[in-house]
């Protein structure tokens, strides 16, 4: 049986999104697929992948520069494979919903993702540079780790189910 290959790649500045990508990669591997977990800047080609999971931290309502650069580099190819997208942010935390995906900017419009999910992230003021810290203060961003691992794993499992439905038999 041919094993499908999945690329999981996520842009993270302070590690929270990278750890979410790791959890997703682990879950998809457990589901029986070959998974490469590679930072967007390190991906040289997406040839040979049957699916791509692309994520980014959200800063100032946008996906990061690295995530947007990844989309520009692979725009055409990304239209030929199934893509799942996720954002990691803190808008609306802890009371409301996390970042409204429609506000994440035009990046996502380019990639016709099967699904886009927003996960709550983590903010640790001590890890930020001065500029980031003052922006976080102005935005009254709540410090803490709000990542919902069950929700993240459930989403990854949904991807596994969807991929299995499309796995060629034999």
Ligand X SMILES: Cc1cc2nc3c(=O)[nH]c(=O)nc-3n(C[C@H](O)[C@H](O)[C@H](O)COP(=O)(O)O)c2cc1C
Binding stretches for ligand X (CB under 6 A):
12-18, 57-61, 88-91, 99, 121-123, 128, 132, 135-136, 141
> Measured from the CB atom, is 9 or 82 closer to ligand X?
9
Residue 147 beta carbon to ligand X: minimum distance, rounded to whole angstroms: 8
> Measured from the CB atom, is 46 or 136 closer to ligand X?
136
User: Can you read off the two tokens belonging to residue 123?
Assistant: 């903010």
Residue 5 beta carbon to ligand X: minimum distance, rounded to whole angstroms: 25
> Measured from the CB atom, is 5 or 14 closer to ligand X?
14
Q: State the Cα angle at 38 between 35 and 42, rounded to 5°.
A: 145
Sort 137 into a burial class: Cβ within 10 Å, 0-12 / 13-18 / 19+. exposed
Q: Which of 29, 58, 69, 61 is nearest to 119 (CA)?
A: 58
> Measured from the CB atom, is 35 or 91 closer to ligand X?
91
Chain mean position to CA 151:
13
> Measured from the CB atom, is 43 or 135 closer to ligand X?
135
Cα gap 48→28, rounded to integer Å: 17
Residue 125 beta carbon to ligand X: minimum distance, rounded to whole angstroms: 8
Residue 58 beta carbon to ligand X: minimum distance, rounded to whole angstroms: 4
Residue 38 beta carbon to ligand X: minimum distance, rounded to whole angstroms: 16
Query: In degrees rounded to 5, what are phi and psi of residue 46?
Result: -110, 15
* Residues forming beta bridges with residue 145, ordered by sequence position: 122
């Amino acid at each position: 049986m041919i094993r499908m290959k999945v690329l999981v790649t996520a842009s993270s500045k302070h590690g929270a999104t990278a750890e979410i990508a790791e959890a997703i990669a682990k879950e998809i591997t457990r589901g029986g697929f070959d998974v490469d977990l590679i930072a967007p800047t390190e991906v040289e080609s997406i040839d040979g992948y049957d699916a791509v999971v692309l994520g980014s931290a959200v800063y100032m309502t946008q996906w990061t520069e690295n995530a947007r650069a990844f989309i520009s580099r692979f725009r055409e190819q990304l239209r030929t494979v199934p893509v799942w997208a996720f954002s990691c942010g803190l808008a609306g935390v802890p009371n409301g919903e996390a970042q409204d995906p429609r506000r994440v900017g035009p990046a996502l419009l380019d990639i016709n993702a099967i699904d886009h999910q927003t996960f709550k992230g983590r903010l640790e003021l001590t890890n930020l540079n001065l500029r980031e810290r003052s922006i976080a203060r102005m935005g009254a961003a709540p410090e803490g780790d709000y990542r919902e691992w069950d929700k993240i794993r459930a989403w990854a499992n949904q991807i596994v189910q969807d991929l299995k439905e499309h796995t060629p038999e034999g």
